[in-house]
Amino acid sequence: MNAGGYLPPPPQPYRPPASPPPLMYQPPPLELRGIVLEIIEARNLKDVEFFGDIDPYTKVDFGGKKLKTRAHKDAGCNPRLGDTLEFTAPAGVNDMLLEVWDSNKYNFFTGDKLIGRARIDISDLRRGQEFLDRWIPLTDDSNLAAGEIHIKFIGRY
């Protein structure tokens, strides 16, 4: 203690300056090369058929590539579908247009009728998630509910 009653602070322990963490290997981000789309089932599809059950099939547009499934004859409004489509994954394309149609293959007067459609964001697959399993709501041309479709995406890296 000095004459003024002042005590100097105790010495602080030496701390080396903070250094950045050691460099660790970071693998490059995975590049999505392709997508397998499993169309599992649908429920509560809008009934656009006047006589009999609907014959649903699915059209998909992804990055300008358009594919469609086979029609499921007389499958009705709650069909088990079990279809698979495969796409390459063009860079920068993060949404897919999916449409469900009623096939009127043998009715030359009316042609096929749109049941419903949805735009699907696949950006989670671009971030490396291996698969997505979802029920997707469909809307018709009037933007009214037209049922749901159960799909699974599997990313190919």
Range with the largest mean pLDDT of 13-22, 122-131, 132-141: 132-141
Is residue 128's pLDDT more than 70?
yes
pTM comes to 0.79
Assigned CATH class of 34-156: mainly beta
Asked if pLDDT for residue 39 goes beyond 90, the answer is yes
Domain ranges of the chain: 34-156
Q: Is the pLDDT of residue 1 over 60?
A: no
**Sequential DSSP letters for the chain:** --TTSPPPPPPPPP-PPP-PPPP---PPPPPP-EEEEEEEEEES-----SSS---EEEEEEETTEEEE----TT--SS-EEEEEEEEE--TT--EEEEEEEE--TT-TTT--EEEEEEEEE-HHHHTT--EEEEEEEEE-TTS-EEEEEEEEEEEE-
Which has the higher per-residue pLDDT, 34 or 101?
A: 101
pLDDT interval class at 114 (50, 70, 90): very high
Q: How confident is the model at residue 136 (pLDDT cuts 50, 70, 90)?
A: very high
